[in-house]
Structure 1
Amino acid sequence: MSAYPEALPPGPIDQYDNQPPLTAVQRITNIFYAPSKTFADLRRNRSWWLAFVVMALVGYLFTTTALTKVGPRGLAESSIRNNPAQAEKMQNASPEDRARMISITASIMQVSLWAWPVFILITAAIGALLLWVGCNFILGGSGTYPGMFAVMIFAYLPGIFRSLLTSAVLLFGDTENFNLNDPIGTNPGFYLGADSSVFLKTFLSSVDVFSLWILILMGIGGAIVARVKVKNGVAMVLITWLIFALGKAAITAATS
């Protein structure tokens, strides 16, 4: 979280080195319409704390809205209802066991909602490692791990729109059928019925507008920070995501 400028790693000088410095606020706003400027500025200064604070505040707005409008028990019941394995287990359980399952799930979900900024840091740390390895050892770049961590944090920023839209759905829409794992129709899987192929529904649920936006930003940012071609960085990230999404869909279908 250092605000000190990062020394430029060895590599060819390119157009991103000639960009005027950005303020912390400009780096956040540029990520939505001129992301290359934000990522180029990370070569100069990899500070990411303000972007993280913005995500945390918006995230807690969603947390407060969800716990107020739906409640921990409602969120737990929705999670169980939308998970075929858990739903079957709940159906076959005794009333006492059902109450216990709902209580445990509600407690876990409540803690997770309040602790989600910690999960962002953990997933960013893991993603940064993968991005650093891919950009440096596969694409031949020269990025640093702290630089890739900053890329991950900034790449997550479009997620604030997902949180805001979901909060709006909770405030003004139907909360009875709310699904925390897939709350808004920004992916094709959202519109498939319960009798659809588990593999297809799981895979298409991964083809989410905001997820793809974030993935593309990861590719752009990793490439710029590592000083490799942007198209190669984006291609590497999307191919990795495709393999993961197909694997996830296959495992989900096999265990359902």
Structure 2
Amino acid sequence: MNIPLKPQASQTARTLAGKVALVTGSTSGIGLGIIRALAAEGADVVLNGLGGAAEIGKVREQIAAEFSVKASFSPADMTRPNSIAEMIAATVAQSGRLDILVNNAGIQHVAPLEAFPVEKWDQILAINLSSAFHTTRLALPAMRRNGFGRIINVSSTHGLIASPFKAAYVAAKHGIVGLTKVTALETAEEAITCNAICPGYVYTPLVEAQIDGQAKAHGISRDQVIRDVLLAQQPNKRFTTVEELGALTVFLSTEAAGSITGIALPVDGGWTAH
């Protein structure tokens, strides 16, 4: 008996086709990995971040060509509310919608409390925390008009626990988790969710630079730096990958994750299981 097979096209349909996604801090590292994952699932994307115009243009063109989506760029300064407002307004004006907002922009500075530069504290809080408040409050009206929204805040393991010498970063990332919960509660009866991803150490070009620096400073091998310094608290003893974070972001952006909201999800190889 021959049983007719269903067409296979639906199995290859991209889950985010027709959606528009904005990712802050997405010209390199984690943000770029996330924006590529969203584009691979059919979302038109808006990049934001630092870098030379030619380099960013090349990245944008590559994403558009590789994934057959629209890819644009906003140079918005995440320390300036007016610049953030212009970015959100331009995105909505250009596309008529903003479905997925990923707040990823962030910087770091390490120093003991009594020596922590005040200007660095202010800058880290502005970029790592306040920018997410501004993007969220400005994106919500467009999401409500279109009856769909996904807000994903890239926090950190340091949004759940602390380490010495990272006062501003830890404070900001804890704040992101709190903002996530408030946003989730305020949108709970709508088709809008808000969640935080809390990565441990992620392998990026910036981390690669830290490996070489630590190896020279301590006179030890790269493998020792990775295992005994950077990943000392990470039980699986390997870096989280940007591809893993991208895949999780895609899932949280889909209809299938419609009942997942207000969570802070560790992606840390067991770090916070201690």
Larger % of helix: which? 1
| Higher RCO (CA < 8 A, seq sep 6+) | 1
- Superposition TM-score, scaled by structure 1 size: 0.23
Bigger CA radius of gyration: 1
- Superposition TM-score, scaled by structure 2 size: 0.22
